[in-house]
Amino acid sequence: MAKIINVIKGTKDILPQDVNMWQMMEKNALEVFSRYGYKEIRTPIFEATELFARGVGDTTDIVNKEMYTFEKSDRSLTLRPENTAGVVRSFIENGMARLSAPVKLWYKGPMFRYERPQAGRQRQFHQVGCEMFGIKQPAADAEVILMAVNYLKSLGLNDLEVEINSLGCPTCREEYKNKIKEVLKPEFDNLCEDCQNRYEKNPLRLLDCKVDSCKEIFEKPEIKAVIQSDFICEECAEHYKELKSYLDKLNVKYVENKLLVRGLDYYNRTVFEIKSNNLGSQNAVCGGGRYDSLVRNLGGDDVPAVGWAMGMERLYSLLEKQTPEKLDAFIVSNSTAEAFSLAEELRTQGLNIEFDLSNKKFTKQLEKAGKVSDLALILGEDEIVVGKVSVKNLLTSEQISVDRCNVFEYIKGV
């Protein structure tokens, strides 16, 4: 036999038995985002490497360690590790700055990062995300956070935690960076290797470090005092305050976290993450923030922007834990033709229905029903003659007789 070729480490098939939930995530994205005036954009999966070096930032892990880069015809190309840079490129290239603000774009699709595969971390993974261009006021930040929360709610995910922080603007952040460096200087040799490397280039990233010995250092009172200090300038503070007051008004619960700095270089002012307690150590489902200088840095006009991205694999594992997906009902009958027509009647009304296509014994069909649904619709010879269906609740074993023409209403009422 020929040698089997396996899927590449860190990538996964999405199999037919799992695809329903993926389709639901995509369908709800379209529905919820459309309500907020977003239009979908589909950009290429590979771009010029320089786009990510400039757009994501060359001090980031993504650019330094995680990119899939290859040469073709003397050009350096990279599989997209995230999609904000690609969307901004397209925004600039297609003159979208001329459109009336805000320009609201969303996307979904695969991203590629060369990371160590583990639970919640793949090398090809999927994101759904949004970007809003042209509004600098904090109402835009509040709206994108609210939309993320409402998207999660549409999937039945109600109890996730929103964390927010403000990174200030490049001016006020500079001072904060210097203070952090100063207070950490005596501890330099005790920091992990990554933190030592980031110390000069990107000192704020240290605060994000997950290594226990570094976390302990940040807990030392004199260091913690600097980290927790209010460093942002008056204008940034006002922006942050307004954002919080919108979130309060909109009943979006949030926690402020001064250690939340996010991995990417381009954020200013608002940053946020949405986390779940059900995901183990890779617990962030959504990350985002404001990036007012990115469009300009990539050669466009001065256009403020704010957006976020959600990891769909992590969403999937939350949904999977939540409820096993079941059919609305399974039809049990010795008459394939009768089962067929009842199934079709109910399917055209929007229900998910299956029946036995292979004429198995009645008891086998009932067994199968119990595995795939909470309801069996029994169409025995007696029922067929009198135009009834026996509806059996497979959880309680209760059974009642319903007129065939009322089955849909009965199921919807269950």
- Amino acid code (one letter) for 268: N
* In the complex, least distance from residue 303 CB atom to ligand ATP, rounded to whole angstroms: 21
Closer to ligand ATP at the Cβ: 202 or 365? 202
* In the complex, least distance from residue 254 CB atom to ligand ATP, rounded to whole angstroms: 16
Is 203:223 a contact under the CB 8 Å cutoff? no
Binding of ligand ATP by 311 (CB under 6 A) = yes
* In the complex, least distance from residue 329 CB atom to ligand ATP, rounded to whole angstroms: 35
- DSSP code of residue 220: S
Q: Which of 28, 211, 51 is nearest to 128 (CA)?
A: 28
Is 154:25 a contact under the CB 8 Å cutoff? no
Q: What is the DSSP string of 9-60?
A: TT-----GGGHHHHHHHHHHHHHHHHHTT-EE----SEEEHHHHHHHT-TTS
Query: What SS3 state is found at 162?
Result: strand
Distance CA 296, CA 88 (A): 10
Contact window for ligand ATP (CB under 6 A) among 1-9, 136-144, 156-164, 309-317: 309-317
Residue window 51-90: x/- pattern of binding to ligand ATP, with contact defined by CB under 6 A: -------------------------------x--------
Say if strands 305-311 and 268-275 run parallel, antiparallel, or are unpaired.
unpaired
Binding of ligand ATP by 309 (CB under 6 A) = yes
Contact window for ligand ATP (CB under 6 A) among 174-182, 304-312, 391-399, 400-408: 304-312
Residue window 120-159: x/- pattern of binding to ligand ATP, with contact defined by CB under 6 A: xxx--x-x--------------------------------
**From candidates 59, 150, 154, 282, binder to ligand ATP by CB under 6 A:** 282
Q: How far is CA 393 from CA 326, 328, 356, 365, 378, in A?
A: 13, 11, 18, 15, 11
Closer to ligand ATP at the Cβ: 63 or 378? 63
Q: Which residue sits closest to ligand ATP, CB atoms considered?
A: 311
Binding of ligand ATP by 286 (CB under 6 A) = yes
* In the complex, least distance from residue 372 CB atom to ligand ATP, rounded to whole angstroms: 30
Quick check: bond before 16 cis, omega within 30?
Answer: no
CB neighbours of 196 closer than 8 A, spacing ≥ 6? 188
* In the complex, least distance from residue 263 CB atom to ligand ATP, rounded to whole angstroms: 4
Q: Residues interacting with ligand ATP, by CB under 6 A?
A: 82, 113, 115, 120-122, 125, 127, 263, 282, 284-287, 309-311, 313-314
